[in-house]
Structure 1
């Protein structure tokens, strides 16, 4: 893969972690040889000092140093004060190709499942952790159903990482906009057609301010409740012409956009209305986004009188939400102390660490009722419907490929053109499929 391609990948992936424990082994017992009576006893050799442990973590999530520390860094440094952790976020001067050219060691990579494999494979960093998981006696049965299967399936049967936190999709809403127009708040258990009707009541103009009823982050399409992958895992061909995509784009993109005001705003933004219309201008009444939102930018959400509800579901799939997106840590092939790195990841999956995540409002990855019950209880946001995150059953996780980000970008581009009325649904999906197939073929070459 060329450096140009890799730089593009790492820049685009910056969208919407570690712990370690001592690895010193006990000294082997030695049996002294018999000495002549006249020989003085041999002095015991001084114990060799333990080698210092430094673990370098690389990510292209877009998380700042402060953001990483608030979620993961503070936890691992508190647990392992004798270890040195260096966090490197992808940016000019510290992109992956630049770091590799500088012979910078990277011990762990951190990314969500959608982009983890494309990141790891681009730098030849992927490492199968199966043997280390076994020797460290990590119980894979403790994880939420579908998580380990999803990770193994995307890794061709290999375990290139373990999940430490999980991310789902929920619907955030601005209570003040609902109150302004006297519209009842959304509830858990709604269907998509009910949401469309509700959004229409809130898409209206008040003075100079144009309000929009609903928009969704298009990442929800990639984690769709129908569990349709972007690429067929066997052929690595786009799936956009298969059944289901029409329904998904109609529901997530076209119906919310069936209003001139929505199209006008998209034309100005050159993109579908996003979280800034929800938090900054506060012109968006409802926004479907990741469950990590309150922890990622708490200072931004503090501006809004908000709450959350479960994402609506299809009537023919009642109670089935989107796929979850586990955030993973993986040991790299170049890691100098793989055992220490494994112990770090192991700790982040323990009940102790998972309880800390859950209290913050970050979805835990272990299937423990007590940990789930604590969800959101330690968050700075109180009186929030945190149970909305778990209201729906998550859809099975689809296989992610090494071309996920590239194909996703093509679909996003055509979704915007659909909203603007520059293409019809069938044409958009057919064209997206052709472009994606060509792009993947070029990347393989």
Structure 2
């Protein structure tokens, strides 16, 4: 990330992504041969560009996370590394949104969000700052990062580097081993196609002992927003929504309509007026397979309630070995930052080998490519023996170009999936209406600029 994004189910998404956005990740140089990002004060033992006067860095995001959450995930580590810096995090809430802060003349030095929403956040305050030269000046090795992450950020920035990734997320498929064992169905495996996955879902979907079991579901916003065909919600050149593209029919049919034909899935949606989701996987539990963020197991308290594992995201036959797009958390220096060198040192540290390895051990997906960092993933968690190779089985799909309309258009689009699943609209009608509503949303947003 659940949203990160900044919202979680099409229904509990806001709370989840607000939490997900705190995740920081771990990784280093490529294959142990490419030099990674060194710790800011490695070698000489002195930090670069330490100013003579005290430094205060003001950090903000619009996810609403508390100061305690920020400190636990970022602040405490930053302060320990830079004891001479004053780190001031300002929570986004009534009276202290980014617009509120700017209206009162409050400086903001660093913004962070998932990449999907960072550009909208920075553009809303006209705070974009190209970090390309500063990253070079401070010795940040862009070649040590997962290539798709940097390429995606530069594409969305029109060739400019407005932020750097510090943690990552992709979509994977979790499965409840207990349900597969109960019904004698073979476990999923890495490298499965969507057709094979739907066959497994049919075998699990059933009534047993008065309980309805569901074979498969996915989080609509996450799987659609990070889809394997890299179809954007909004075309970057025309600034028009893309929901009349036939690719959306295939994606929604595969991810939702096909599994939704199974009786238990149909009955659940009809009676509950929602799609099966996280609670049906961990709490009830009646769900066999669930596609969600790679950070999921580390973001809830009761993942141990079931016997689970994970596999790589199933793939389309015309897109072999292509998984989801990534959803990294990114930190960016603002154009109004008072001490850009100090801000760069903080971000460089968060992306350093030292910080990435430490966070990878906690279950935060790396942004660097080093095998050593990848192998450290989840090693300090109760889940260290799970199939974490699934995170790297597929290639990351090319990132779509992000723009300032993405969040608004996503809010328009995802409820239509629910309406189609409930039988309130056919798919063609839903996509046409989503297109029309999204066009109006974009037009209204342009008028406010």
Match runs of 1:99-118 below 5 Å: 99-118=101-120
Report the counterpart of residue 228 of structure 1 in structure 2.
231
Q: Which residue of 1 aligns with 2:151?
A: 149
User: What's the offset of the Cα at 1:311?
Assistant: 1.0
Instruction: State whether structure 2 residue 276 is matched by structure 1 residue 273.
Output: yes
Q: Which moved more, 1:16-25 or 1:113-122?
A: 16-25
Q: Deviations over 1:395-436 (max 9, x none)?
A: 111101110011111220111111011111222112111111
Superposition map of 1:91-240 within 5 A: 91-218=93-220, 219-240=222-243
Calculate the TM-score normalised by the size of structure 2. 0.85
SS in 1 for 2:288: strand
| Contact 2:49–2:341 under 8 Å retained in 1 | no
Q: Which runs of 5+ in 1 are unaligned?
A: 1-10, 27-49
For the 8 Å contact 1:14–1:62, the answer to whether it is kept is no
- Whole-Å separation in 2 of the counterparts to 1:115 and 1:144: 20
Deviations along 1:134-162, one digit per CA (max 9) or x if unpaired, are: 22232212211121111011112221101
Secondary structure of the residue aligned to 2:136 is: helix
2:249 is aligned with 1:250: no
Of 371-380 and 309-318, more deviation after overlay is shown by: 371-380
1:442 shift after superposition: 1.1
Please, which of 369, 387, 390 is the counterpart of residue 388 of structure 1? 390
3-state SS in 1 of match to 2:259: coil
Q: Is the 8 A contact 2:207 2:264 kept in 1?
A: no
Q: Summarize deviations over 1:352-372 as a string: whole Å, max 9, x none.
A: 112122222222112212212
Q: Could you tell me whether the CA contact under 8 Å between 1:57 and 1:109 is conserved in 2? A: yes
> 5+ residue gaps in structure 2?
1-11, 25-38, 42-46
2:427 pairs with 1:425: yes
> Separation in 1 of the partners of 2:145 and 2:135?
13
Distance in 2 separating the partners of 1:269 and 1:86? 44
What is the total number of aligned residue pairs between the two structures? Answer: 411
Query: 1:184: how far off?
Result: 2.0
- Change over 3 Å in CA distance of 1:391–1:64 after alignment to 2: farther
Contact 1:418 1:425 in 2 (8 A): yes
| Residues 195, 65 of structure 1: alpha-carbon distance in 2 compared, 3 angstrom cutoff | farther
Q: Distance in 1 between matches of 2:160 and 2:298?
A: 31
* In structure 1, C-alpha distance between the alignment counterparts of 2:86 and 2:375, rounded to whole Å: 33
Higher Cα radius of gyration: 1
Cα deviation, residue 12, structure 1: 8.5
Choose which of 339, 351, 354 in structure 2 pairs with 1:352. Answer: 354
Distance 2:203 2:94 in 1: 45
Task: Work out whether residues 20 and 341 of structure 1, in 8 Å CA contact, stay in contact via their aligned partners in 2.
Answer: no
Counterpart Cα distance in 2 of 1:302 and 1:100: 44
Q: CA deviation at 1:63?
A: 4.5
Is the Cα–Cα contact under 8 Å of residues 145 and 368 in structure 2 kept in the other structure?
yes
Contact 1:167-1:291 within 8 A present in 2 as well: yes
Distance 1:331 1:12, change over 3 A: farther
Q: Do the aligned residues in 2 keep the contact of 1:90 with 1:96 (CA within 8 Å)?
A: yes
- RMSD value, Cα: 2.4
Q: Offset of 1:244 from its aligned partner?
A: 1.2
Q: Secondary structure at the match of 2:179?
A: helix
TM-score of the superposed pair, with normalisation by structure 1:
0.86
Question: Among 313, 316, 320, which residue is 1:314 paired with?
Answer: 316
- Give the 3 Å change call, closer, same or farther, for CA 205–163 of structure 1 in structure 2: same
1:329-340 mapped onto 2 (5 Å cutoff): 329-340=331-342
